[in-house]
Amino acid sequence: MNFLIPPGDSLPRHICKSCGEIHYSNPKIIVGALPVWEDKILLCKRAIEPRYGKWTLPCGYMENAETVEEGAIRETAEEAKANIKIISLQSVYSIPHINQIYMIFLADLVDLNFSPGEESLEVELYNEEDIPWKEIAFSAVQFSLETFLRDRRDNTLGYTRVGKFYRNIKDY
């Protein structure tokens, strides 16, 4: 494997020495939902690493041959055994240094039939004042929760919020 800039490209890529095939390495897309029932948000306590025992929204890696919405519905069913109806794209959050992009959808819980899936220790509905902020697993989840709650207070739901993880203060 060579690491070269192919003709017509602007970035170095892995290129097979034998056949010249270009092997692209692109960001991973994480899809998920911010499920709401009345004024409460459904959170999952992680049963896997990374961040075992921390709280998150139901989300995970997108699979081939599915839409981002289908992925969010699937992940919610897998992690919380919950049924949701997608409302809109709530947030897009980039983490460039680990090549991840989160796409979180605002969703209504269809019913209260939810329970922990294999990747969750617990699944709970939280009022805003009871969210375990110090136990949130990921910056993307915190961003999604904070922007949703702010938009709900400001009556500006329906706008997609875009954020980025900053590794250090000089990146601002």
DSSP secondary structure, 82-108, as one string = --EEEEEEEEEEEEGGGTEEEEEEEEE
* Cα 15 off chain centre by: 31
pLDDT band for position 166 (50/70/90)?
low
What sections of the chain are H helices per DSSP?
68-80, 139-154
Q: Where are the domains of the chain?
A: 28-171
CA 110, 116, 119 angle in degrees (round to 5)? 120
What's the CA gap between 10 and 12, in Å, rounded? 7
pTM for this entry? 0.89
* Cα 1 off chain centre by: 32
Q: Output the six-digit token pair for 4.
A: 């070269």
Residue 74 and residue 91 in contact, taking contact as beta carbons nearer than 8 Å: no
Domain covering 28-171 in this structure, CATH number? 3.90.79.10
Residues for the chain: how many in total?
172
Does residue 157 have a pLDDT over 60? yes
pLDDT band for position 61 (50/70/90)?
very high
- Summarize the confidence of residues 57-77 as an average pLDDT: 98
* Mean pLDDT across the chain: 93
Q: According to the model, what pLDDT value does residue 168 have?
A: 53
Which residue's structure tokens are 């991840």?
Answer: 100
